[in-house]
Structure 1
Amino acid sequence: MRFPKITSLYGRIFAIFWFTMLMVLVAVLYLSHLDPRKQRDIPPSQMIKYERIRDYIESKYQQEPDLQKIIRDFNRQARPQKSNRPSLFLADLSGNILTGKARKANHFRELRNFVTGYSGTTPKQRLYGHYLIAGPLTINLADQDLLLFFGTRWNQPPPFLLQLFDKPLQLLLAVMAVSTPLLLWLAWALSQPARKLERAAQRVAKGEFVVDHDLETGTTEFQQTGKSFNQMVEAVNQMLSGQQRLLSDISHELRSPLTRLRMANALATRKLGESSELSRVDTEAQRLEQMIGELLELSRMQANSHLERETQPISSLWEEILKDGQFEAEQMGKALKYSDIPNVTVSGNPKLLMSAVENIIRNAIYYGKDRVEVQIYTSKDKLYISVSDNGSGVPDSELQDIFRPFYRVSTARDRNSGGAGLGLAITESAIRQHNGSITASRSDLGGLNVLIQLPLNS
């Protein structure tokens, strides 16, 4: 017979609860068959021994007609002995005890309780503390039918269940011992899908929007949660992809009228000659074209970047960029120094990560007077990239604004010396997509310091 699989969380909890209660109920019901303190049937092997003793006594006193003499003989033999031989007691058919009255302190009260509480036709036995009384067997002595009882010292330990039910603390510990493995199994069964969901949430926090079908396993509640989580990831993927396609399409469509504008301006210049107005139109058209080019570059880098993730050593990402930056700085009469690259890995889109760091280094080379320093180091589970220059820097009031799109500061880093103001915005977007952060501050060299923080691959 196959039992249906319980897929509901509440179903598993109720199943464990009722299973534990059933075990306790079975133990309570079965206890009555184990408890020697209640009247029970005498085991067959012990019954044979008792019958042999009865037959021996009948044979021994077969020729004795005086019952009182037999009773006195029984009382003498029933004195406490070191041996494990049973003590013998006689009673008449009415239940009056004939032997042992002189030894009331020696289990006589237990014997009287057993005799008065006995009702039936078959011999029984019952335990009183450490003394077991059994009987009665019918015996004929001095031509009278009497009842024979046996008393034996009980040296066996009480059954385990009796110890438990006699001591509530032990019973509680036993129930805990039985239920703990079941509860541990339940905790494990609940923790597995919860951990899968936690790992999936961590991947999303790092910018990895990947559908994980393993989330849709486990109990019904976790299956529904995993399915909803995957639907959310798919919706975010579609939203990001749509946004990136829209940016790319807009940038591409803007180039056509811009190209026609520059052609018309060139024809007007050829026809009318040079003028300040036409030169201004051409200058603004060039800047607009540069801006659209940067937007197209951003859209190409970000296209499906949330889906294209790799785990790579950081040396393979930025070592060549640092060497190229060092060469370019030397050509401009400047010096670029960088620290050793740690042997660690990061997870992300290689193109975005390489472009982000390259943009910061090129800005430092361009705006620095003659010195650029790059420090790459790790702390706990974070990677830090610090780029400093000794240029004119950025006013403290504008340090947080330089990462906004199209923003240009009012000092040397302005419209005449820089681009369209999208470079740092592209870098900030790339770092943020990798669950990192980027901040700007005044450099110890006197210029600008840009600090990038990224999570290490775990």
Structure 2
Amino acid sequence: MKLPNHLLFKLLLAFWITSSLVLGLVIGLPHLQKSFDREPLDPRLATVLNRTAERLAETPPQQWRQLSHKLRHYQDERGREFRMSFYLIDKDGRPVFRGDRRLPREVRHFLLELDSYQQPMRYRFPDEVVFGPKEVQLNGETHYLIGKIRAPHQRPWLFFLMAHPGAFLLVAIAFSGLVFGLLAWHLGKPLRHLKDTAGALARGDLEARVDGDTLSRRDELGQLATSFNQMADSVTTMVKGQQRLLSGISHELRTPLTRLQLALALARKKGEDSAELQRIGREAEQLDAMIRELLALSRLNMQITDSKHPLDLIDVLTDVIDDAGFEAEQMNKQLSVTMPEHLPFKGIENLLRRAVENLLRNALRYAENQVSLEIVRQPNEVLIRISDDGPGVPETELETIFKPFYRVAEARDRDSGGWGLGLAITQGAVEAHQGRVRANNRTPHGLTMTVTLPLA
């Protein structure tokens, strides 16, 4: 018969074990201590009681107290000396000596544990041993003699808990903490692995899966891991299928477009260059540009899962910045650059180049005169700021300009070029490095694009 292996059963089992042990100690320790402390009267102490009773019977009553003082010292078979005291009580348990107004606490506890005066025994206390009673006939009355030896002895540490409730509470807390700590580790380890796998999948690692140890569990966490892997497989299939579809469609569109451009070129060679053909040529060029952007977006999605490697960010962006400077000169605009000589980074070169190139080209297209690029290294991240003095973007659209095919009507039109894919490509490249990109308007006009990339 297999025990249930559910999380609820494990939680109940841990609670049951902890509660049972604590309750068992609370209920069982007093009985265990009683059985340990209570023992039959051994022959040596019985002999001491008998000799003391004989001497007590031979001694006049007025000298009983002096006799008791004479018998204070006791030596065992090993030669060790112990302090001994004797107490004479009547059948009601009251002390016979007038000076003994009240018996010691240990003797009173001994009398409470005593089943019968006719059954002598020995009872252990932390620092003393009480033994007896021994029946003594004095002056025609029945009395009972009880002895007490000051003899400390080692007791089990569990009995220490009975005498110190605070220590018992600490032990109970420590034990319950240990049990539930082990349970938390048993449940937390697969959850942490599942969290790390989900994070890797969210960062674009489509091959991330939960390991076999978690999958082999027979509880709800194992079922969750199996469902997670199935979900990851479905997501990977859909994403890769979408990427293949986009790439395939883009490539297929290039074939008729190339034929169209070739036919236009042949027509122009024959002297056929009407306004309609010019319009067709412009539309074909725009369609070609859009297909290139779609192919770039498709390649970006495929490169997101590429492994990152150490590089110098400045070396990677140098060619992009030089090309942007050349374009700025041709457009009679000024590009100012502020950046360190070297900046170690860990990333994917093509994605970093494309992200910054799109932002620079966008800024140059809409700037009136000035574009600035600033690369700043901070303790835990790299900031790349690209600013222009163009018309800016409406405040309500600063977040939506990064969506694919989204274009701001007030600042862009089809004649300006672009199909609203450049910023989407930039955002995808930045997010592939666990970074973020945001847009802010400048005063009095212009736009600042800020890219934040965490340092590995």
TM-score scaled by length of structure 1: 0.76
Secondary structure at the counterpart of residue 206 of structure 2:
coil
Q: Is the 8 A contact 2:110 2:123 kept in 1?
A: no
Indicate conservation of the 8 Å contact 2:300/2:428, yes or no.
no
1:119 aligned residue: 116
Query: Are the structure 2 counterparts of residues 132 and 382 from structure 1 closer, same or farther at C-alpha, using a change threshold of 3 Å?
Result: same
**Does structure 2 retain, via aligned residues, the 8 Å contact 1:101–1:108?**
no
Residue 85 of structure 2, aligned match among 78, 84, 87: 87
Cα contact 1:353–1:431 (8 A) shared by 2: yes
The answer (yes or no) to whether the contact 2:88–2:95 under 8 Å persists in 1 is: yes
Counting only pairs closer than 5 Å after superposition, residues 365-376 of structure 1 correspond to structure 2 as 365-368=364-367, 371-376=370-375
Question: What's 1:276 paired with?
Answer: 275
1:200·1:212 contact (CA, 8 Å) conserved in 2?
yes
1:226-279 deviation digits (Å, cap 9, x = unpaired): 332233222222221111111111111222222333344445556673211122
- Pair 1:77-2:72 in alignment: no
- After TM superposition, list the pairs within 5 Å mapping 1:4-403 onto structure 2: 8-24=6-22, 25=24, 28-35=27-34, 40-42=38-40, 47-54=42-49, 56-57=51-52, 67=57, 69=59, 73-78=63-68, 85-88=83-86, 100-107=96-103, 110=107, 114=111, 117-119=114-116, 123-126=120-123, 132-136=129-133, 148-152=145-149, 161-162=158-159, 164-165=161-162, 168-214=165-211, 217=214, 220-266=219-265, 268-269=267-268, 273-303=272-302, 305-313=303-311, 315=313, 318-325=316-323, 328-329=326-327, 332=330, 334-340=334-340, 343=343, 345-346=345-346, 349-368=348-367, 371-377=370-376, 381-390=380-389, 392-396=390-394, 400=398, 402-403=401-402
* Per-residue deviation, residues 324-375 of structure 1 (Å, max 9, x unmatched): 346535753644313227846455x542232111221233345545543212
Provide, for residues 411-447 of structure 1, a one-character-per-residue CA deviation record: whole Å limited to 9, x for no partner.
Answer: 7854334344432332234334555443333346954
Residues 28-72 of structure 1: CA deviation (Å, up to 9, x unaligned)? 425324238x982147xxx343244246458x75xxxx9474655
Instruction: Please give the alpha-carbon distance, in whole angstroms, between the structure 2 residues aligned to 1:239 and 1:157.
Output: 73
Q: How far does residue 10 in structure 1 lie from its aligned partner after superposition?
A: 3.6
Give the match's secondary structure for 1:35. helix
CA contact 1:398–1:409 (8 Å) conserved in 2: no
Residues 345 and 457, structure 1, Cα contact 8 Å, conserved in 2: yes
- Matches of 2:19 and 2:113, distance apart in 1: 37
SS in 2 for 1:53: helix
Q: In structure 1, give the amino acid aligned to 2:187.
A: L
Q: Is the 8 A contact 2:314 2:341 kept in 1?
A: no
Cα 1:420/1:227, change in 2 over 3 Å: same
Aligned counterparts of 2:219 and 2:423: Cα–Cα separation in 1: 47
Which has the higher mean CA deviation after the structures are superposed, 176-185 or 415-424?
A: 415-424
CA RMSD of aligned residues (A): 4.5
1:185 to partner: Cα distance: 2.8
Whether the 8 Å contact between 1:325 and 1:336 is mirrored in structure 2 is: no
Alignment check: 8 A CA contact 2:355 2:426 kept: yes
The residue identity in structure 1 corresponding to 2:45 is Y
One-letter code aligned to 2:28 = L
Question: % of aligned pairs identical?
Answer: 29
In structure 2, the CA distance between the partners of 1:98 and 1:435, relative to structure 1 (3 Å rule), is: closer
Q: Contact between 2:339 and 2:374, CA under 8 Å: does it hold in 1?
A: yes
Judge conservation of contact 1:355–1:427 (CA < 8 Å) in 2.
yes
**Counterpart Cα distance in 2 of 1:158 and 1:79:** 29
Q: Partner of 1:213: helix, strand, or coil?
A: coil
Shift of 1:323: 4.7
Gaps (5+ residues) in structure 1? none
Q: Aligned AA for 1:430? A: A
Q: Which residue of 1 aligns with 2:447?
A: 448
Q: 1:125 to 1:344 in 2, by over 3 A?
A: farther
Distance 2:289 2:113 in 1: 113
The question of whether the paired residues in 2 share the 8 Å contact of 1:314 and 1:344 is answered with yes
TM-score by length of 2: 0.76
Question: In structure 2, what is the Cα distance between the partners aligned to 1:398 and 1:269?
Answer: 46
Q: CA deviation at 1:166?
A: 5.1
Assess, with a 3 A threshold, how the Cα gap between structure 1 residues 359 and 190 changes in structure 2: closer, same or farther. Answer: same
Give SS of 2:386's match.
Answer: strand
> Are the structure 2 counterparts of residues 424 and 378 from structure 1 closer, same or farther at C-alpha, using a change threshold of 3 Å?
same
C-alpha distance 96-170 of structure 1, shift in aligned 2 (>3 A): closer
Separation of aligned partners in 1, 2:312 and 2:45? 90
Query: Matched residues in 2 for 1:98 and 1:290: separation?
Result: 114
Contact (CA 8 Å) 1:54, 1:139: kept in 2 or not?
A: no
Q: Any conservation in 2 of the 1:407–1:421 contact (CA below 8 Å)?
A: yes
Q: Is the 8 A contact 2:130 2:149 kept in 1?
A: yes
Deviation at 1:194, TM superposition (A): 2.8
Deviates more, 1:436-445 or 1:281-290: 436-445
Q: Which sits farther off after the overlay, 318-327 or 230-239?
A: 318-327
